[in-house]
Amino acid sequence: MRLLLVSDLHYTLKQYDWVVGEAASFDVVVVAGDHLDISGMLPVQAQAVAIVKHLERLSQRTQTLVSSGNHDLTARDAAGEMAPVWISKVREAGIPVDGDYVEVVGYGFSICPWWEGPVSKQAIADQLARDAERVSRDRWVWVYHAPPTDSPTSFDGRRSWGDQELRAWIDQYHPAIVLCGHIHQSPFRKGGSWADRVDDTWVFNAGRQIGPVPTHIIVDTEAGRAEWYSLAGPEMVDLTNPAIERVALDLGAAQ
């Protein structure tokens, strides 16, 4: 499987355009939350309309999976918790989103929403328990906006901002891969990283950068490697090596 991970694009449409342009080279593209920019000048409802159109274009190129992040919460749901209600438009376009399970080239993907309270948190617990019966652990991939607590993928240079519940779920189920975002600075800070291993689970967070090309991670399970691309320079890790060794790549290396 050849996978492209991006997250935290925050209504940077040029970055969505870049992802659309690259999508055909991958079996699956994951956009792991924070599509909207709640501090932007444009109303979030208008942002959501544009994002849905870009995601539709993306899904015409390859299998696309979309989760929500904390910036995507736009209204209260029936339980009174904030929710990304606009994401239903993405599902209507035929794109798997929050709460969905989909299989891609032999891997099972659980797409988890951003949870805001006890009801939405329990929904994720129920989702993971259900999906655990569908796929073997070594071929199970989670899309979950926040990285786990006590991980360099959740470290911003001062402290960990990770999700304790996610850490507990990883300890319980041991999926093969968890694809995250949320903490923009982690890959760029001393003590932080874009890649981590929690027991036998790989965790990835691409981070965020300005410009037309987003930070992104390419996971190639057949080649047994993951690569991170950013303005700081490309790096790779060997997925067959339990020890995490980030190796710099030649800047001219082809993706």
| pLDDT, tens digit (0-9, with 9 covering 90-100), for 40-98 | 889 999 999 999 999 999 999 999 999 999 999 999 999 999 999 999 999 999 999 99
Q: Are the CB atoms for 154 and 161 separated by under 8 Å?
A: yes
Residue 137 included in any domain: yes
Residue 254 included in any domain: no
CA distance 211 to 75: 30
CA distance 129 to 133: 7
Q: How far is CA 194 from CA 87, 111, 202, 211, 249, in A?
A: 26, 20, 11, 19, 15
Residue 253 included in any domain: no
Residues 132-189 have pLDDT tens digits of 999 999 999 999 999 999 999 999 999 999 999 999 999 999 999 999 999 999 999 9
Residues 189-226 have pLDDT tens digits of 999 999 999 999 999 999 999 999 999 999 999 999 99
In 3D, which of 68, 142, 146, 63 has the Cα closest to residue 110? 142
Which domain CATH number covers 152? 3.60.21.10
Residue 125 included in any domain: yes
CA distance 141 to 198: 14
Q: What is the pTM of this model?
A: 0.96
Residue 173 included in any domain: yes
Q: Which domain holds residue 188?
A: 2-248
Check the CA dihedral 50-53-57-58 and report its sign: positive
Instruction: Calculate the average pLDDT of the chain.
Output: 96
Residue 230 included in any domain: yes
Residue 255 included in any domain: no
Residue 68 included in any domain: yes
Strands (DSSP E) along 157-224, which ranges? 177-180, 195-198, 201-205, 216-220
- Structure token pair of residue 140: 């199970």
**Angular region, 93: left φ>0, alpha ψ -120 to 50, beta rest:** alpha
In the chain, the number of structural domains is 1
